[in-house]
Amino acid sequence: MKLPIYLDYSATTPVDPRVAEKMMQYLTPDGEFGNPASRSHRFGWHAEEAVDLAREQIADLINADPREIVFTSGATESDNLAIKGAAHFYAKKGKHIITAKTEHKAVLDTCRHLEREGYEVTYLEPQEDGIVTPEQLQAALRPDTVLVSLMHVNNEIGVIQDIAAFGELCRANKTIFHVDAAQSAGKIEIDTQALKVDLMSFSAHKMYGPKGIGALYVSRKPRVRLEAQMHGGGHERGMRSGTLPTHQIVAMGEAFRIAKEEMASENERILMLRTRLLNGVSDMEEVYVNGSLENRVAGNINISFNYVEGESLVMALKDLAVSSGSACTSASLEPSYVLRAIGRDDELAHSSIRFSIGRFTTEEEIDYAIKIIRENIGRLREMSPLWDMYKEGIDINSIEWSHH
Amino acid sequence: MAYSEKVIDHYENPRNVGSFDKNDDSVATGMVGAPACGDVMKLQLKINENGVIEDAKFKTYGCGSAIASSSLVTEWVKGKTLEQASEITNTQISAELALPPVKIHCSILAEDAIKAAISDYKSKHPDA
């Protein structure tokens, strides 16, 4: 077993060796290095064929038409293109946008930008389990709501939103519906034919493809139009100019192909590992799972170990690569905004750790993780004045703390 | 982020973790910080009749730098008079531990903990 153990698959995944193998064939003089936009020679034609095949593989995973796939640099760019592009193109319909407080920063900051341009944004507050209900969306929709942007799976707490229900409501209101699917593609089934989703963002590096490549699904039926954010040679039907990076696209295609083939069996294995991890730590006192456990992707578990500060726990768990909802490192001292939005108090938010499990995680690694978590939680609690107070039955909220 | 060797040493082998009976007259307790901010430090000093700190203990909820700052302070205050202890500054602490700018607040908290403990002692011993 190699240390440290990687349990941060929601941040990024290693490239699957099968994917890397494909990718390497599109770079060197011996490979297919041509510009897919070159129409006058076979270097270009071969590259174009490779891009076409990858586009089909990506469309195939989400049951879309290949012509509905627009390549971008990643999910952040896809979110920007979808939100700014649709809000601008359909501005005549109105200037009201709906999103949620637990969205990724790529969505929230883009919405903030539109607010400065005069758009009005409603930020829905999810239930305590992290779920936004269709009723909440229905109540917020207005005749002038031009766009709704809600994520499929949350990056911190892994909860799955009911995008099928949201889609129905948006379609009935003639509102464009964008879904950030960076954390869901390849992990749960996505059927764009059945879903009433107009725009959907994808990323390759969350599913064993390389960083720097992503896609935006742009529905053709009904036809959704966008104002381009990147101008130039008119690539990707004018929606996103810039030479297509053949090697990255081929790699993303291969990653999506593998995901379609292996998703079902892989999910079963990952869920087994997550259950093992959770069972291994949940009998300790004051351990809380953040977000719904039922409506959740298999690979994610976000746990608060009360009375232990997250960053010191991350330091203690130096043999585990995990991430914390505590933000002691940032100058703001603000803990995770996602955990705050679902009503977790500051202490629990500061005490949270996200474990994300993936394709290369083993049972042996999970067992080792359980062992060192248990040891260090005990050690840090022995050192925690808050743990003492809890043990003495003192309510921490009854104390007047000097906030600094 | 990368921690200095001294922070890691104090974090992995914290000195003087524990508690004294806070109702003991010779014990001064300083508790500073807030759970909402991500750090709470409890520093306790055992002070003899000559006003010298004989022993010190701490408990800290916080990041590695907060734990290291409090551990270091318990070493530094031992053998000092209250007046000498009150002269320890956050700049000395952050310099010793090579804290990065985002962690300076941890050293400030440790300085505050000494001050809070001393003021607790003074309120217990108004004539001291």
Is pLDDT of A404 > 80?
A: no
Does residue B43 sit at the A interface (CB-CB below 8 Å)? no
- Contact list in B for residue A388 (CB cut-off 8 A) is 19, 42, 59
Chain B: residue whose CA lies nearest to A399: B34
Q: Which of B1, B14, B31 sits opposite A385 (nearest CB)?
A: B31
Q: Tell me which of A304, A305, A311, A312 to substitute to probe the interface with B (most B C-beta atoms closer than 10 Å).
A: A312
The complex's ipTM works out to 0.92
Give residue A356's Cα distance to chain centre. 12
CB contact under 8 A, A385 and B42: yes
Does residue A332 sit at the B interface (CB-CB below 8 Å)? no
Q: Tell me which of A305, A315, A332 to substitute to probe the interface with B (most B C-beta atoms closer than 10 Å).
A: A315
| CB-CB contact of A32 with A46 (8 Å) | yes
For residue A255, the distance in angstroms to the closest alpha carbon of chain B comes to 31
Task: Single out the catalytic residue among A230, A328, A372, A386.
Answer: A328
Rounded mean pLDDT, A37-58: 97
Q: Which pLDDT score is estimated for B128? A: 63
Which tokens in the block code for residue A267? 């999910």
For residue A399, the distance in angstroms to the closest alpha carbon of chain B comes to 9
Q: Which pLDDT score is estimated for A343? A: 94
Kindly indicate the confidence band of residue A399, based on its pLDDT and cuts at 50, 70 and 90: confident
| CB-CB contact of A90 with A147 (8 Å) | yes
Whether B63 sits among the annotated catalytic residues: the reply is: no
Give which of B119, B113, B90, B85 is closest to A402, Cα–Cα.
Answer: B113
Q: Which pLDDT score is estimated for A45? A: 97
What does DSSP assign to residue B34? E
Which of A5-9, A399-403, B42-46 is the least confident region? A399-403
Which tokens in the block code for residue A38? 């070159």
Alpha helices in A173-323 (DSSP H): 246-281, 310-316
Rounded mean pLDDT, A130-157: 98
Alpha helices in B18-78 (DSSP H): 64-77
CB contact under 8 A, A328 and B41: no
Q: What is the pLDDT of residues A49-77, one digit of tens each?
A: 999 999 999 999 999 999 999 999 999 99
For residue A370, the distance in angstroms to the closest alpha carbon of chain B comes to 19
| DSSP per-residue letters across A313-331 | HHHHTTTEE-EES--TTST
Give residue A255's Cα distance to chain centre. 16
Is pLDDT of B21 > 80?
A: yes
Report A:286-315 residues touching B (Cβ under 8 A): 307-312, 315
Element (H, E) at A230: none
Question: Strand, helix or coil at B61?
Answer: strand
Amino acid type, A128: E
Work out the burial of residue B102: count CB atoms within 10 Å of its CB; fewer than 13 is exposed, 13-18 middle, 19 or more buried.
Answer: middle
How far, in Å, CA of A86 to CA of A228, rounded?
Answer: 9
Q: Which pLDDT score is estimated for A331? A: 47
Task: Single out the catalytic residue among B37, B98, B102, B128.
Answer: B37
CB contact under 8 A, A329 and B35: no
Rounded mean pLDDT, A279-308: 96
**Which residues have C-beta within 8 Å of that of residue A393, sequence separation ≥ 6?**
none
Amino acid type, A396: I
CB contact under 8 A, A329 and B102: yes
Chain A: residue whose CA lies nearest to B99: A329
Whether B106 sits among the annotated catalytic residues: the reply is: yes
Share above pLDDT 90 across residues of chain A, in percent, rounded to a whole number: 90
Q: What is the pLDDT of residues A309-363, one digit of tens each?
A: 988 998 899 999 999 876 554 445 578 899 999 999 888 998 999 999 999 999 9
Q: Which of A309, A401, A402 sits opposite B62 (nearest CB)?
A: A309
Question: Strand, helix or coil at A127?
Answer: coil
- Contact list in B for residue A350 (CB cut-off 8 A) is 35-36, 38
Please, what is the angle between helix A363-382 and helix A246-281, to 10°? 60
Burial readout B87-99 (b: 16 or more C-beta within 10 A, e: otherwise):
ebebebbbebbeb
Is pLDDT of A269 > 70?
A: yes
| DSSP per-residue letters across A149-196 | E--SB-TTT-BBP-HHHHHHHHHHTT-EEEEE-TTTTTTS---TTTS-
Chain B: residue whose CA lies nearest to A340: B36
Does residue B97 sit at the A interface (CB-CB below 8 Å)? no
Does residue A394 sit at the B interface (CB-CB below 8 Å)? no
pTM equals: 0.92
Rounded mean pLDDT, A374-380: 95
Q: Which pLDDT score is estimated for A310? A: 87
Report in angstroms the alpha-carbon separations of A121 from A77, A78, A381: 20, 19, 42
Rounded mean pLDDT, A196-206: 98
Kindly indicate the confidence band of residue A250, based on its pLDDT and cuts at 50, 70 and 90: very high
Q: Which pLDDT score is estimated for A324? A: 85
Which of A164-173, A244-253, A330-339 is the least confident region? A330-339
Q: What is the pLDDT of residues B86-122, one digit of tens each?
A: 999 999 999 999 999 889 999 999 999 999 999 999 9
Kindly indicate the confidence band of residue A245, based on its pLDDT and cuts at 50, 70 and 90: very high
Q: What is the pLDDT of residues A63-121, one digit of tens each?
A: 999 999 999 999 999 999 999 999 999 999 999 999 999 999 999 999 999 999 999 99
Element (H, E) at A148: strand A145-149
Q: Which pLDDT score is estimated for A403? A: 62
CB contact under 8 A, A403 and B66: no
For residue A180, the distance in angstroms to the closest alpha carbon of chain B comes to 29
How far, in Å, CA of A394 to CA of A391, rounded?
Answer: 8
